[in-house]
Structure 1
Amino acid sequence: MKAPPTPRAPHPPPPAPGDVAPGHALDWLVAGWRIFMKAPVVWALQALVFFVVIAALGMLPFLGWAAAPMVLPLLIAGMLSGARALDRGDALLVGQLFDGLRQHAGRLLLVGLFHLLGLLLAALAAAAIGGSAVLTGTAASAVGGLAGAGIAAGGMMLGVAVFTVLWALLMMALWFAPALVMLHDVAPLDAMTLSARACFHNLLAFIVLAALLYVLVWVAMIPAGLGMLVLIPVIAGALYAAWKETFSPLLPAPTDDTRADAPTATDEPPKP
C-alpha cells in the first residue's frame, strides 16, 4: 500500500510593499547603470537578442500581434535573473535571457496572457467610446455641422484618455510581476495585483521614474536606436533595484555563504 504523498508546504503570502521616497527613482537608474557596467558587452548582446525575438514574433502571420506581449514577461524575467546573478557576484551569460523560459515558463506566460487581455480590453473600451462619439457626431451633424464635429472630436479625445489611463494601470500591474514570479515564485495574478499595489503605494516615486524613462528613451533613440542596447539592460537593473527596495521583506535571510559586508549593486557607501 502506497503511503499518501506528503502535502506541499504552502508558500508564505508576500507582505505589503514598503515605502519608497520619490528621489529613489533616480537611485534605481544609477543602480541599473552600475549593473550594466559589470558586463556591458554581454548585456548589449542580451538586449540585441531581446529585440530580435520580439521583432521575429511580431512578424508571425495572424498571431504576431499577440505573441510579443505574451513573451515579454519571459524575457524581462530572464534579464532580472542576470541582474540577480551579477548582484550575487556570479557571471552573466547571454543564455540567462531565457531563464524565465526554463524556470517559470507557465506562470510568466500567464502574466503575458493577462497583459495581452488587458491591452485588448483597454483598446476595446477606447474604441467603444470613440466609435459611439463618432456616430453621435455624425447624427448631430445633420442638424448642426459644427456641433457634430465637436462631439466626434471630444469623444475621440476621451477615448484616447481612457486608453491611456487603462494602459498606465496595466503597466503598474506588469512592472513588478516578472520579478515577483521569477525571484519569489508568486502566482501570476497575485504578482500583478501586488505590483499594482506597490506602484499605487509609492505613486510619486513611479511617476518620477516614468518621467525619467520617457526622457531616456528619446535620448537612446537618437543614434539610430542603438542606445536601446544600453537602456534596456539599465532598465532591467533599475527594475531589480526597485524590487529589492520595495519588497525587501521578500528577500531570503543571508546564509553562511553570503558575507554580510559584501557590496551589492544597490548598496550605498557608508556615511562618515
Structure 2
Amino acid sequence: MKANLKKCAAIVVYFGSLLWGGAAYANSLPANLASTLFAAENLSLNTLNSQKVKKEVLLAESPTAVYAPQRSHSEVFFRGTDGYLHYYYVENGAWKYDNTSFRASQVSGDITAVYAPQRSHSEVFFRGTDGYLYYYYVENGAWKYDNTSFRASQVSGDITAVYAPQRSHSEVFFRGTDGYLYYYYVENGTWKYDNISFRASQVSGDITAVYAPQRSHSEVFFRGTDGYLYYYYVENGAWKYDNTSFTSGRIAS
C-alpha cells in the first residue's frame, strides 16, 4: 500500500535504515530510539543490510505516529513481523512498547492513530484479518477494542482518523468494498455511519481527513476514479464536495 503523507515522519524513523542507507542510517538515529525499535522485532543494527532482515521488515505495514500530550512525546504504532500491532511510547524518558494488548486480530491493511483528549490517550484503528475495522482505545488505564460497530462494510483501502471536538470523539473514514467512502462518527454515545453522502466518485487512492474549526466539522480529501482530487466539507449541516478546483493535474496512482 502506498505510504500516506500522514505517515511519512514515522516511515523516515522506522524504515529509513532499510530504504535510505542501511545500518549507517540506523546508527545515526538516537541510540535509545533505534535500539529499542529494532530490538523488539529481534533485529540487530549490525545485520540490517542482510537480505533476510530487509525482507522480514518490509513485509510489515507502514507505521503511523501521533503526538501524546500526556507524555509530552510522540508515540508510534506499526504492524510487526508477527502480524500484530506494536505500540511504542515514552515513559520516564525511555522508549517502551506493548505488543500484547492488541491480540483480537492481526493487522491486515492500513493503520491510523489519533489522540483523544476526552481519554487523555491515543487511539488506533486498523483493518483486521476478517477485513473489518478494529478500534482500540484506553479505558480505566487498559486497552479495549471494538470490532462490532463497523460492520456496514469491510475495509478495502486506506483508513484515516481525525479527532472531532464538536463530538468530543474521534471519527474515521475508509474505502469500503463497494469502492465508496465510509464515514463513522459518534452520536449520543453510539457509532453511526454515512456511506451515501460521498457518491460523486469512488475512492481510488489515499484518503486524508482534517478537522476544520471554521466549520466545526471534519473534512476529507481523496483521489477519485478520474484521478483528480475530491474535497468533501460540511455546509449548513450537509456534506458538499468540490472536484473542480483541483484540475491542474491528476494525482499519481
Normalised TM-score (structure 2): 0.28
Quick one: higher RCO (CA 8 Å, sep 6+), 1 or 2? Answer: 1
Normalised TM-score (structure 1): 0.26
- Tell which structure's C-alpha radius of gyration is larger: 1
Greater share of residues in helix: 1
Greater share of residues in strand: 2
